[in-house]
Each structure stands twice: as structure tokens, then as C-alpha cells.
Chains A and B, each alone.
Chain A
Amino acid sequence: MIEISNIHKSFGKQQVLKGIDSVFHKGKTNLIIGKSGSGKTVLIKCIVGLLRPEQGSVKYDGQEFLTMTVNEKKEIRKQIGMLFQGNALFDSMTVEENIRFPLDMFTKQSMSEKVDRVNEVLAKVQLKDTNHKFPSEISGGMQKRVGIARAIVLNPKYLFCDEPNSGLDPKTAMLIDDLIREITQEYNITTVINTHDMNSVVRIGDNILYLYQGEKNWQGDNEQLFYTDNQDLTDFIFASEFLQEAKEFRLQNWKNRKA
């Protein structure tokens, strides 16, 4: 479980985060949603320690992260896996070397044990026989899956995904969503996803935090999302006509069920 409270972050005079509080639960896919520029990426970077908030607290299973020493933070970071928006794969390394990198750096396993583990996570993300390909030789969706494989190879307790579906077609995006949810439930980890893909919100949003202009505007699950009377959130979620119709259709079904 990750608890954040009163997170403030500014860049110069621009205040990006204005006192965010939230709890991200273990075994659930926790989503951070909001318009572009609402502070989602800044919040996720503050949680993982890539940015330092001016004020606030971030607790990983009760341990205060922001006041830890460099070495203590290092220990927490070994339990964190992160999937970046642009995948952040090392382009001079093959798929296998990319995934093996955390094992090489932090474990004393033999080469055969490491290769076995790489093949295990590659099978988990449905990417067999790509070990010796370079990131530039595989598709965007495959690169995402390699990113996920690298993020989970050390069995992390916390998984962060920054825009996991950006640049992917809807079908591949669904595959990535299912994979993240499956991993979250199977390994019982705390997953935090930063997205503005509405399909992801509806499909895997166990716990959704909506940011609006740097503030927490709403929190709930994907069921509550459809029946909320929060106007900002409704405007954001049902921005397209198609989704507006989908909402009305759902509400009608709900009313019919009740009747």
C-alpha cells in the first residue's frame, strides 16, 4: 500500500500539485487520471522520487520515503518496477539484456538462472523468441511488453505505469491493460497507473484518482465513475459523443434494472 498526503510541487511560480492526498491499495490497479497538464506525471514522479515535492509525505507500507537516506531509498527502489511512457528500453541492448539488466545489477544468480527468469517473464508477457532482438526491431506494443517484463523481473512490490497505452492501437492497449491487471492480482502488488485512456479507466480502474488543475477532485472506482455528479469529471470522462451515449445507455440499463 502507498499513502500520499499533502503533496505540493511547484516549478518556479507555477504550482503544479496543490496538496494531493490518496491511498493506493495492494492487489488493485490504482489509476491517476486527468487532463494533460493536470499534474499526473509530476505526481507519479514525486511518488517514485524522481522529483522532490516541497511538502508532503509518501509512505510505502508505512515507511516514510521522502525523509529516507539515499541508501534507504535505494532499498525501496529495488522493490519498484516502472513502465515508462516511451518504454525507456536501453537501445544498445537486446530484449534479453534489457530484462536481465536488473538481475545482473542486483542479484548473484548464475547466468542460467537469470536466463530462465528472463524467459519466464517473457512468457508471462507473451513474448517468446524475441530474446535476441533489439528494441528497434520490435513493434511499439512489444516494446511495452518488454518494458513490463523488465519492470516485474525482480518481483517488485510496487508497479508504476506512466501512460502504458500511449501510441498503441485499441486492441493492443486492451492486451496491455489485461496484462497489468493480471500481474497485479497474481503477484498481489500495488499498481499505480497514470492514464487518460478511457477504455483503461472503465476496464481496470479499481481505484481512480481524478486530478483537476493540480488538485484531487474525485476518488472512487469504475462503477462509481458512471454515476458521479462531479461536473468536472463528467466533462473529462464523457468528452466524446460516443462515450456520452455509452453513459446514457449504461444509466438506462441501471434504471431498468432498478425498476
Chain B
Amino acid sequence: MGPFYHIGSYIYMLKALFVRPERISMYWKETFRQMVDIGVGSLLIVAIISFFIGAVSTVQFAYNLQDSLIPMMYVGYVVKESMILEFAPTISCLILAGKVGSNISSELGSMRLSEQIDALEIMGVYTKAYLIGPKILAAITMIPLLVIISAAIGIYGGMIAGILSGYVLRTDYIQGVLSFFDAFGVFVMLLKSVTFGFLLTSISCYQGYNAYGGALEIGKASTRAVVISSIMVLFADYILAWILL
């Protein structure tokens, strides 16, 4: 089956999410469970990676600025801008495409293979709405929060690295971070994180929900989920940057 079949099926899957839930409380319960899984479950890895991205950015910018006439406070400014506009939303979502995407895809894939999805279908549950809807809703709620935390930790990590390496003073760094604040950058960051969150969860759900065969197929579906989600996140990143900036 070619790409047009999958694009059509993917759109059809998204359309199937808009139904009247059998019992709204069950959908909320599932959404909160997913919020914990996606949000709390990914917090540590996002924090660690963001800290080091901020740290590396600081060291590299400071190294390039050290023999120039540009004040060192610009290190803080550049790290803040790059964390907000690019690193926090894009790198975090690429990490989440690996962690959350493969988790969602293998969860749905094993539910499909063990006939749990068929069991829900027989009971009369809208399986796409019940299994996929809460995951997407949880992702577009929690991923922007993770991205905000990621940006904050990245900027903080940059400061720690700057101080420890001796390239930049704490006061200069903080002055840079607080300078030229542009709220539009934060809007772009949040828009990116919602878009990327939607893409990575919906693509992973599509791959897992449509996994047929054996255990090998679950592995393949997870790999496809991660690869396609990552490519689509980067593609959407380019499109959003092109449109908004």
C-alpha cells in the first residue's frame, strides 16, 4: 500500500476521533492517565537533555565570542533565544518522538495483537476515539508544559556551564537572558510544541493501531512511528519557521 493510502487512512483516523463519547468520565480518566505517562514520565529525560543542550550552547557561544568586542552578556541572550525558538521545542519533541512515540505505538500494537482492541470494538466502544483521542489530548496539553520546563532548565544549564567554565559571569548571563524579551518567541515555541506533540502522538497512534501480524510487526511499527514522527517534526519545524519568522 502506497503513501496515499496511508495519508487517507491517517486522515480517516483523525476524523473518527470526533464522536460523542459513550461516557465522558471514562475518556477523562484515560486522558489523565496519559497525561501522567507522557508528562511526568518524560520530565526527567527532557530535563537532563535540556540542561546539557543549554550548557553546550553557552560554552560554544562563549568560546566564539571570547576574543571579540561583543559583550559576554550576549551569551545569555543567544542561549535564551535559541532555547526558546529552536532547542526546547524541537529537540525535546525529537526526544519525545523516540520515547513517547515508541511507547504509544508498541502499547497500541500489542493491544491490537492480543485482541484487546477487538474486545473494545465488540463491547461497542469507539476504539479510535477512546484509545487515540486521550493520547493526543494529553500530548498537546503536556508537551507544551514540558517544553516550557525544557527552555527554563536549558537557560539555567547554560548559566551553570558559563560560571563553571569561567567564560561568563553570572550577572552578565542573567542580564543577557533578561534583555530584549520578545513574547512572540514564546508564542512560536508554544505553537511548535503543540504542533509537534500532535504530530508525534497521532503518527505513533496510527502506526500502533494498524499493526497486524506478530511481535516482529510491533517492533517495525515502533520504528516506523519514531522515524516518521521525527521527520514530520523537522518538516513542520521548517514550515512554521518559514511562515512565522
Task: List A residues at the B interface (Cβ < 8 Å).
Answer: 48-50, 73-75, 77-78, 80-82, 84-86, 88-91, 101-102, 104-106, 160
**What are the 3 tightest A-B residue pairs by CB atom distance, in nearest-first order?**
A77-B124, A88-B119, A88-B115
Task: List B residues at the A interface (Cβ < 8 Å).
Answer: 22-23, 26, 114-116, 118-119, 121-125
What are the residues of chain A within 8 A of B115 when measuring CB–CB?
84-86, 88
Q: Is the CB of B119 within 8 A of A84?
A: yes
Q: Which single residue of chain A is at the shortest CB-CB distance from B21?
A: A105
Q: Is the CB of A105 within 8 A of B125?
A: yes
Q: Is the CB of A88 within 8 A of B118?
A: yes
15 chain-A/chain-B pairs, Cβ below 8 angstroms: A49-B121, A50-B118, A50-B122, A77-B124, A82-B119, A84-B115, A84-B118, A86-B114, A88-B115, A90-B116, A91-B116, A102-B123, A104-B23, A106-B124, A160-B122
Beyond contacts A74-B124, A101-B123: 5 other A-B pairs, Cβ-Cβ < 8 A, are A49-B121, A77-B121, A80-B122, A84-B118, A89-B116
Across the interface, A78 reaches (CB within 8 A) one of B23, B121, B124, namely B124
A75 to B123, CA, bound (A): 10
Across the interface, B26 reaches (CB within 8 A) one of A50, A89, A104, namely A104
Given the interface pairs A86-B114, A88-B115, A88-B116, the reply to whether A77 lies near B26 with Cβ below 8 Å is: no
Most buried by B among A77, A89, A105: A105
A84 to B118, CA, bound (A): 9
What are the residues of chain B within 8 A of A73 when measuring CB–CB?
124
Q: Which single residue of chain B is at the shortest CB-CB distance from A150?
A: B119
Across the interface, B22 reaches (CB within 8 A) one of A81, A86, A105, A160, namely A105
| B211 → A minimal CB distance (Å) | 15
What are the residues of chain A within 8 A of B118 when measuring CB–CB?
50, 84, 88
A105 to B125, CA, bound (A): 8
